[in-house]
A and B are shown apart, each in its own frame.
Chain A
Amino acid sequence: MKCHVPGPNVKVLARTVHALARFGDDLYLESLSDCILLRTLNASESAYAMVKLNKNFFSHFNHNYYCVDVEGLKCKISMKSALNAFKSPAHMDKQVENLEIKLDPHSSKLIFQLNCKHGIVKTHYVSILDCKAMQAVYTKDLVPNRITSSQRLLSEALGNFQCSDDQVTLEVTSESLIIKNFGDTPTDISRIIRSQVTIKPFEFSSYTIGTDTNITFTLKEFRALLGFAEGLNLPVQLHFEITGKPAVFVVHNGTTIEAHFVLATSKPDIGTQYTSQHTTNSERKRKENSNDNNISAKKVHLDEDLSNQFQEDSNLFNYIPNNMSQNNVRENINNVEKANSIDTNCDNIPASPTSRMRIASVFKRCFESTFDPRIIHGVVLAENSDSD
């Protein structure tokens, strides 16, 4: 793959990399015939970012440059290396005339060649750490709640919170949106300033709330995506459902660039002051325990939204940790059968652990280099994204 980024877009790409760097430590790059996808995932797997650069973002785009008939080149590089190539986004438009990116599948390097003013050429040879892709599954459309907002509105609102605040909760009704840094249940509040900002619907460009809800997510990544929107002077679209399900933020300019930021959400009362890492672990444990007991409450249809399976935990990558042995699985199957026999009137078909396993392996397979979405038969993993 070889492509040229014209001068003005180099700054955009730099800002993109800087925004992604605030999410995760590894950058996954995938080159398809009509676009390049940049993805990353944070360490606690509670935030995912994907930026799609369409063919028209580039002045020249040849994804088959080095070899023909290659489906799509995938690679993973360290985010630090990527940042090194895009040091100061603010100055790039004054210094850089264009950028050439080359990915040769046979060498082990991704090459960024910045052709700068005054005849200076800066070349960065970045080692490729791995050749696989990464993908998350989430629902963007057909959600009851959608808000479009200028990034300035949200940034202004966040200006009322402290740097030390870890998470924010959005309390959303059709009358108002309240952003606060605390949940409903008492935690140790004697040392913390509890702040909240109320925003009325008319302040947003569009505001559709089908289901009143509370969603809580980490501030760090929220600020990062707002920074990205600010750099490009674009509005932010927020698509979300209810507590526990991931919230999807979309920033796009309709032509060259489209970014999806997916943040896992949690219930506000689960350790509001804990870091997201902590939340994920405690939630995962709760999920395991509750699933053992409440299997009958779960749905099994895979063509429904998968995150229904995991009501309390909106971990995006719900693969089972390795310590779940085969014995446990057998136990769960037995439990399911017992549940079935006991409650024959129950309409809900329990989720069999084996199907959970399959879900896990589906996710797991996303990490494999040979993963092809078409392999999963009859399962709609995610609705087609609209082109809006």
Chain B
Amino acid sequence: MKFRAVMVDPGPMRELTHIVNTISKLSKECVLRLSDDKIYFIVSEDNSGPTPPVLWCEISQSNFFSEYQMIGIDEDHKDIYLGIVSASLAKSLVTLKTAKMLKIKLTKKQCPCLTLDIEMPSSISQQTRQVSHDIPVVVVPRKLWGEFNEPKIPQPDISIELPPLKQLRNTIDRMKTMSSDIIISASAEGRLTLQIKTDTAKVSTRFRGLNVESFEGPIDHSDSETESQTCEDISKICSCRIDAKKFSMFLNAEQISHNRTLCHIIHKRLVVLQLHTKENVDFQCFIMGIVY
């Protein structure tokens, strides 16, 4: 197995730092899947199996690296799967924002490592300084590769474009101090509501005029306690109760320069937050619905 890639542009360097940073806030460990054209960052729940992974992020390597070479195990197993501590990767990339060049390679020191060679500018002289980090990785055995496949989820009931993540982040951060769950509702008419309900308070933040990508309604609300404003048609509203902290962690992704984020909801079951950038970064976060 071999892997070597070089990055020289400041834009991709910043993006990579933000992506890795966001992932490290969502999960301590992640799996790096390296293929010819893409790099995947995959985070699974501990009891991975039929449940979709918590995070699936893919970047197309050609938008990030100026040089990229990899060789897998054999013809049938072309990709490389590495388990890595995302926090370690994030910490090593902290200085990347001011770096001149980044080289990533798979090496074998006392254990398999991802070695990052960074050329940093010096404030003292015109020349650059060499910094090197060896991050220990675990090579994921082939028999476990099946657990890291692309998630297949059913067609969501609604897909709605979210308002700027920065705006959402302020509100969710306040809400999560008051309640551990947040109910997210979206209507076919382009309305999104974030709501918390506790013994002390009920707080609802309502967004209007959002773009609805798709709606597979009508939604069956016969068994639920969904409220709505009196003028709304309840069959057009789709909602899901999710963990507030997980939502807040995803919103760290607001640092990633992005085009748009879609929110897909399967009524009461699943929320998928999908962020997509111009540079072809696809960042999906899966949050299971909480059902009492």
Do A and B touch, yes or no (CB under 8 Å, in the complex)? yes
- In the complex, what distance in Å separates the CA atom of A191 from the CA atom of B135? 8
A328 CB–B CB distance under 8 Å: no
Q: How far is the CB of A176 from chain B (nearest CB, A)?
A: 9
- Whether B95 lies near A152 (C-beta < 8 A) is no
- Whether A150 lies near B133 (C-beta < 8 A) is no
Contacts of A200 in B (CB 8 A): 127, 129
Please tell me which one of the listed residues A153, A189, A197 contacts residue B130 in the complex, with CB atoms under 8 A apart: A197
- Whether B122 lies near A193 (C-beta < 8 A) is no
A123 CB–B CB distance under 8 Å: no
Interface centre among B109, B122, B124, B125 (most CB of A within 10 A): B124
Give the residues from 168 to 189 in chain A that come closer than 8 angstroms, CB to CB, to chain B.
Answer: 186, 189
Give the residues from 82 to 104 in chain B that come closer than 8 angstroms, CB to CB, to chain A.
Answer: 85, 88, 91-92, 95
- In the complex, what distance in Å separates the CA atom of A152 from the CA atom of B134? 25
Give the residues from 61 to 118 in chain B that come closer than 8 angstroms, CB to CB, to chain A.
Answer: 85, 88, 91-92, 95, 109-111, 113, 118
Contacts of B290 in A (CB 8 A): none
Q: How far is the CB of B10 from chain A (nearest CB, A)?
A: 18
- Whether B92 lies near A193 (C-beta < 8 A) is yes
- Whether B111 lies near A189 (C-beta < 8 A) is yes
Give the residues from 81 to 124 in chain A that come closer than 8 angstroms, CB to CB, to chain B.
Answer: none
Indicate whether A186 sits within 8 Å of B110 (C-beta atoms), given known contacts A152-B124, A193-B91: yes
Of all chain B residues, which has the CB nearest A163?
B91
Indicate whether A197 sits within 8 Å of B110 (C-beta atoms), given known contacts A150-B124, A152-B123, A153-B124: no
Of all chain A residues, which has the CB nearest B121?
A156
Indicate whether A203 sits within 8 Å of B133 (C-beta atoms), given known contacts A189-B111, A193-B88, A193-B91: no
Please tell me which one of the listed residues A162, A198, A203 contacts residue B125 in the complex, with CB atoms under 8 A apart: A203
Contacts of A156 in B (CB 8 A): 120, 122-123
Contacts of A162 in B (CB 8 A): 91
A341 CB–B CB distance under 8 Å: no
Chain A contact patch, size range: 20 to 34
Contacts of A192 in B (CB 8 A): 136
- Whether A196 lies near B110 (C-beta < 8 A) is no
Give the residues from 191 to 247 in chain B that come closer than 8 angstroms, CB to CB, to chain A.
Answer: none
Indicate whether A193 sits within 8 Å of B129 (C-beta atoms), given known contacts A150-B124, A159-B95: no
Contacts of B92 in A (CB 8 A): 193, 195
- In the complex, what distance in Å separates the CA atom of A153 from the CA atom of B122? 8
Please tell me which one of the listed residues B88, B123, B127, B131 contacts residue A160 in the complex, with CB atoms under 8 A apart: B131
Contacts of A199 in B (CB 8 A): 129
Of all chain B residues, which has the CB nearest A160?
B131
- Whether A202 lies near B125 (C-beta < 8 A) is yes
A194 CB–B CB distance under 8 Å: yes
- Whether B136 lies near A191 (C-beta < 8 A) is yes
Chain A 117-156 near chain B by CB (<8 Å), digits 1 or 0: 0000000000000000000000000000000001011001
A385 CB–B CB distance under 8 Å: no
Q: How far is the CB of A235 from chain B (nearest CB, A)?
A: 12
Of all chain B residues, which has the CB nearest A156?
B123
Contacts of B132 in A (CB 8 A): 195-198
Of all chain B residues, which has the CB nearest A164?
B91
Please tell me which one of the listed residues A189, A190, A191, A194 contacts residue B133 in the complex, with CB atoms under 8 A apart: A194
Contacts of B110 in A (CB 8 A): 186, 189
Indicate whether A198 sits within 8 Å of B129 (C-beta atoms), given known contacts A186-B110, A193-B91: yes
Contacts of A193 in B (CB 8 A): 88, 91-92, 133-136
Q: How far is the CB of A151 from chain B (nearest CB, A)?
A: 11
- In the complex, what distance in Å separates the CA atom of A222 from the CA atom of B91? 21
A359 CB–B CB distance under 8 Å: no
- In the complex, what distance in Å separates the CA atom of A194 from the CA atom of B131? 11
Contacts of A191 in B (CB 8 A): 85, 136
Of all chain B residues, which has the CB nearest A196?
B132
A32 CB–B CB distance under 8 Å: no
Please tell me which one of the listed residues A150, A157, A189 contacts residue B129 in the complex, with CB atoms under 8 A apart: A157
Contacts of B109 in A (CB 8 A): 189, 194
Q: How far is the CB of B243 from chain A (nearest CB, A)?
A: 28
A sample of 11 inter-chain contacts (CB < 8 A) reads A189-B136, A191-B136, A193-B91, A193-B92, A193-B133, A193-B135, A195-B131, A195-B134, A197-B130, A198-B130, A203-B122
Interface of A toward B, CB cutoff 8 Å: 150, 152-153, 156-157, 159-160, 162, 186, 189-200, 202-203
